[in-house]
């Protein structure tokens, strides 16, 4: 797919699958994300396995895809390979990005709910994924 089509696709609140390796054991985790045109931003808790694994090995891959089944099958996907940077501070910057990610997936009512408030108030660690290689496709794409 074209760069513009890829950016439009990644601007949607889809689920990213973050692939990492924990002592040569593959691991894939669904993640909310925000694409800024250069990097993919995700968040995790500093106490979750993601943080521990990515501190040891910053190499990762991400897949974001959708398959629409109907009269004509349409598959769109972006697959990236790259490295991550874990960002813990400044906390104001971390929380600004966390909120930017959450508003893509949660309505204002969900954000204000007890569960939404707990999610936003929990400890956060930003994952900045910088792709080194990007592959994308759209089976109905006619503009490249």
End-to-end CA distance of the chain: 5
Domain span including residue 27:
3-138
Tokens for 8, please give them: 């439009």
With cut-offs at 50, 70 and 90, classify the pLDDT of residue 17: very high
- Flag whether 51 is in a domain: yes
The enclosing domain of 55 has a CATH number of 2.30.110.10
- Flag whether 143 is in a domain: no
- Flag whether 28 is in a domain: yes
pTM of this structure: 0.88
Instruction: Tell me the C-alpha distance between 82 and 70, whole Å.
Output: 34
Instruction: Tell me the C-alpha distance between 144 and 131, whole Å.
Output: 20
- Flag whether 33 is in a domain: yes
Percent of the chain exceeding pLDDT 90 equals 68
Rounded to 10 deg, the angle between the 114-121 and 91-105 helix axes is: 150
- Flag whether 144 is in a domain: no
> How many folded domains does the chain comprise?
1
């Amino acid at each position: 797919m074209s760069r513009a089509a890829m950016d439009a696709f990644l601007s949607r609140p889809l689920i990213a699958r973050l692939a990492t390796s924990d002592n040569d054991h593959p691991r894939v985790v669904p993640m909310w994300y925000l694409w800024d045109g250069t990097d993919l931003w995700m968040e995790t808790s500093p106490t979750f396995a993601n943080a521990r694994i990515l501190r040891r090995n910053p190499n990762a891959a991400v897949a974001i895809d959708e398959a629409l089944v109907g009269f004509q099958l349409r598959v769109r996907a972006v697959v990236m390979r790259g490295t991550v940077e874990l960002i813990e501070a400044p906390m104001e910057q971390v929380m600004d990005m966390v909120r930017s990610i959450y508003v893509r997936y949660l309505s204002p009512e969900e954000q204000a709910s007890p569960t939404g408030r707990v999610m936003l108030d929990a400890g956060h660690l930003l994952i900045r994924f910088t792709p080194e290689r990007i592959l994308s496709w759209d089976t109905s794409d006619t503009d490249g």
